Structure 1
């Protein structure tokens, strides 16, 4: 995806969201508590008899602007279409339009916390935003304030642990879920493999490595020959790649979240004539945005995991849900391109999950929302892959915990059951 265009799309989304919020404010008739038109029913901030407002803090600028913009675009597209059809009918019998207010945090935890402070009293819930450090920055505050922080796009397991995070819920599989899937696939190959590991030096990277090691536990055919880390603020990992190439490992487990670094790592490995099979996290494995510019076809295999269809894959070009998604993305989120990142689809799915919850809510309160959020089971959101589903009923697991392993085919991914 063109970053300049991505940034422009981000501005467009925020502008549309701000206008929508202003219009929603007019509809409230100047009420201070969001109660809406003198209704006697109990309410929480950010909801009236006719509207409900969602807040998002996410990177709309900087190195993660591509996927960050998608976290806003997808849910905006979903509810834009619902609003055009009249809105969402809630469990209390009222039909409400859903408004989005998004702020840019640039993947900076301090900005994310400031955004939360700015939004918390004017929105009903917050969520969908990208990033482990940025979401962690305001998790404790949201818990103390009893503000839902839900369907966030981080695999950090703390967001799905109800004892630690009673007002939170992650959406995407945990880092451990993904890492373990890779490890099990490799261990089941039966052949000997040497693995080099490069991970982000934070909970993101540590979670992937922990899951991978759990997946290969007891497998005598797998040897980790080198483990290195990098900082999320680094601009190059060339030194780490050089060290790893010297090991001649035939598998590279690369737990990286920064798009430009993944591309440069792919390119550097080829310059070093080191061509192992790669394992990449789901959020940095985009065929169009990462693998094509990184010339990933030069490697014997690039593997990732997924639970959603890929917008850029020819296999889904004629899918009815995909066509509706792309149309809604262009019409309601001002996002004209086929998204190169899966986050657009993930947040679109999150919109569908929220829709299910809203339909169950008999009172428009945050407490009722969190209660009903925990009741979604075996829900097939639009664009989910076979053998995956949304299940919010399991403590310690995010809304989606099931994944399938896929192998890059030069254009998209094919689901595989074995390594090689």
Structure 2
């Protein structure tokens, strides 16, 4: 056989290998957590510890929504599996369980990790490992830093946005009153107070008090507010400390108007802390903010109640239920837009091109330049045991921009609440 004839098979073999290599390069490598029929995501959340009573129901609601989606064919043929890890609202534990999610459970994304101090302890790790860090359950503005944290996206309206809207409402509703604030001793309280000062002015707060979640006592703080003559008290508190503040004030026979961030303003949750006998009295007129469907007759709320009854064992229905299922809907929408063969990169692309609507009362703000979800909130008030929207919906930014009324419509429910591409 000639040298030329012997070389032909070798040339063909090299060509075949090259073609195979080109084919492999043109097919996206499957991301962790993705199989032909499942996609696995995970979260860290307090199922135990000081914040558990206020927030442990969120992840159960998200799972219930995913179970509903899965029973109806999933998203692009894939069922969503949800791994929930308890971090006890302790940043050190958060670091441990998030590493388990990424390295052992090999999740596609971390979804709705809860808490400012807790999630702050893992945001660098998730971005260094290019893990989608989706819809953080915290209003800290740090999640909206695409240049620093390209894989992280917020969910809550920022504490600054909430505070600016609530301060504007307070000035319109209770002009000339003495305003004060009680806030958590971390970024939650600091950012919320910054938003208040932006609207009320540097001397707009007669008293600024802080608390630590490790100390179940706010007598000194409430006493200081009473002594300062505070008439309208803003709260940057988790639900348990909202209830503690109101209960302490009642024992001290101190009456004031209470105005809370959404993080600590859920009426059914507060009733659980305060008791059904006294809660309607202590919470009459209580004001908070929200950005999700909330009204008792809302079509989203009706759907989520049905899902809660069937897939969540009929657990108590609260704002946490709506929050958890709304997060699930937004992830399902992102997954639907990410294509038949989703990758971590394609989910981020779907978010940054503005393809998602969510189900809020104001539009989502996601883009390449913004990883903030909601830049606006509505105002809720409690009347005779019913918490509902009142007055204007406000939009603003996380800086010194104006607070302006929003005149658009909330996102309408389409079909059965299961997103399609």
Q: Given the two structures, how large is their TM-score scaled by the length of structure 1?
A: 0.80
Residue number among 335, 338, 342 corresponding to 1:358 in the alignment: 335
Q: Given the two structures, how large is their TM-score scaled by the length of structure 2?
A: 0.80
For the Cα contact (< 8 Å) 2:380–2:387, is it kept in 1? Answer: yes
SS in 2 for 1:417: strand
Q: Give me the whole-angstrom Cα distance separating, in 1, the residues matched to 2:281 and 2:363.
A: 31
Residue number among 217, 240, 257 corresponding to 2:201 in the alignment: 217
Q: Give me the whole-angstrom Cα distance separating, in 2, the residues matched to 1:356 and 1:283.
A: 24
For the Cα contact (< 8 Å) 1:306–1:404, is it kept in 2? Answer: yes
Residue number among 80, 99, 104 corresponding to 2:81 in the alignment: 99
Question: 1:14-413 counterparts in 2 under 5 A?
Answer: 41-89=28-76, 95-121=77-103, 122-189=106-173, 191-217=175-201, 223-257=204-238, 259-290=239-270, 293=275, 295=279, 297-298=281-282, 301-310=285-294, 315-316=296-297, 319-332=298-311, 334-340=312-318, 342-362=319-339, 363-376=341-354, 379-381=357-359, 384-385=360-361, 388-393=362-367, 395-396=369-370, 398-413=372-387
Q: Any idea what the Cα deviations from partners look like across 1:60-103, whole Å, max 9, x if unmatched?
A: 112222343233122212221111011111xxxxx211111111
Q: Give me the whole-angstrom Cα distance separating, in 2, the residues matched to 1:66 and 1:348.
A: 18
Q: Any idea what the Cα deviations from partners look like across 1:126-157, whole Å, max 9, x if unmatched?
A: 01122111111110000100001111110011
Where does structure 1 differ by over 6 angstroms across 4 or more consecutive aligned residues?
none
1:5 aligned partner = none
My pick for the range that moved more, 270-279 or 61-70, is 61-70
How many equivalent pairs are there?
A: 360
SS in 1 for 2:376: coil
Q: Give me the whole-angstrom Cα distance separating, in 2, the residues matched to 1:355 and 1:289.
A: 26
Query: RCO higher in 1 or 2 (8 Å CA, sep ≥ 6)?
Result: 1
Q: Give me the whole-angstrom Cα distance separating, in 2, the residues matched to 1:106 and 1:49.
A: 34
Q: Give me the whole-angstrom Cα distance separating, in 2, the residues matched to 1:279 and 1:190.
A: 12
For the Cα contact (< 8 Å) 2:308–2:317, is it kept in 1? Answer: no
Q: Give me the whole-angstrom Cα distance separating, in 2, the residues matched to 1:50 and 1:276.
A: 55
For the Cα contact (< 8 Å) 2:43–2:111, is it kept in 1? Answer: yes
Q: Give me the whole-angstrom Cα distance separating, in 1, the residues matched to 2:100 and 2:381.
A: 42
SS in 1 for 2:288: strand
For the Cα contact (< 8 Å) 1:79–1:98, is it kept in 2? Answer: yes
For the Cα contact (< 8 Å) 2:329–2:358, is it kept in 1? Answer: no
Residue number among 389, 399, 405 corresponding to 1:415 in the alignment: 389
Q: Give me the whole-angstrom Cα distance separating, in 1, the residues matched to 2:197 and 2:247.
A: 27
Question: Would the alpha carbon gap of residues 65 and 357 (structure 1) be closer, same or farther in structure 2, given more than 3 Å must change?
Answer: same
SS in 2 for 1:234: coil
Q: Give me the whole-angstrom Cα distance separating, in 1, the residues matched to 2:250 and 2:207.
A: 19
Q: Give me the whole-angstrom Cα distance separating, in 2, the residues matched to 1:320 and 1:197.
A: 35
For the Cα contact (< 8 Å) 2:144–2:152, is it kept in 1? Answer: yes
Once the two structures are TM-superposed, the CA of residue 198 in structure 1 deviates from its matched residue by 1.2
Q: Give me the whole-angstrom Cα distance separating, in 2, the residues matched to 1:88 and 1:171.
A: 21
My pick for the range that moved more, 402-411 or 201-210, is 402-411
For the Cα contact (< 8 Å) 1:276–1:300, is it kept in 2? Answer: no
Unaligned runs of 5+ in 1: 1-38, 90-94
Larger Rg: 2
Once the two structures are TM-superposed, the CA of residue 389 in structure 1 deviates from its matched residue by 2.8
Once the two structures are TM-superposed, the CA of residue 377 in structure 1 deviates from its matched residue by 5.3
For the Cα contact (< 8 Å) 1:173–1:403, is it kept in 2? Answer: yes
Across the aligned residues of Structure 1 and Structure 2, the Cα RMSD in angstroms comes to 2.3
Once the two structures are TM-superposed, the CA of residue 48 in structure 1 deviates from its matched residue by 1.1
